[in-house]
Amino acid sequence: MITQKMKYALKALLVLGDEAARPRPEALTIEEIARRSGAPKRFLEQILLEIRNAGIVASIRGRAGGYMLIKKAEDISISELLRLIDGPIAPLPCLSRRAYQRCEDCTDEATCRLRKVFAEVFWSYLILIESLTLADMLGSDEIAGELTGA
Q: Which residue blocks in 38-112 are alpha helix, DSSP H?
A: 41-53, 78-86
What tens digit of pLDDT does each residue of 4-58 get? 999 999 999 999 999 999 999 999 999 999 999 999 999 999 999 999 999 999 9
Minimum mean pLDDT range among 3-17, 64-78, 93-107, 126-140: 93-107
Quick one: pLDDT band at residue 65, thresholds 50, 70, 90? confident
pTM across the whole model: 0.82
Domain limits, the chain = 1-75+135-150, 77-132
Alpha carbons 93 and 44: distance in angstroms, whole number: 29
Q: Indicate if the pLDDT at residue 144 is higher than 50.
A: no
Handedness of CA 47, 50, 52, 56 (dihedral sign): negative
Q: What is the pLDDT of residue 7?
A: 96
CA angle, corner 120, sides to 122 and 107, nearest 5?
95
* CATH entry, 1-75+135-150, from 1.10.10.10, 3.20.20.70, 3.90.1150.10, 3.40.50.620: 1.10.10.10
What percentage of the chain carries pLDDT values higher than 70? 93
What tens digit of pLDDT does each residue of 119-143 get? 988 988 889 999 999 999 998 755 5
Q: Indicate if the pLDDT at residue 60 is higher than 70.
A: yes
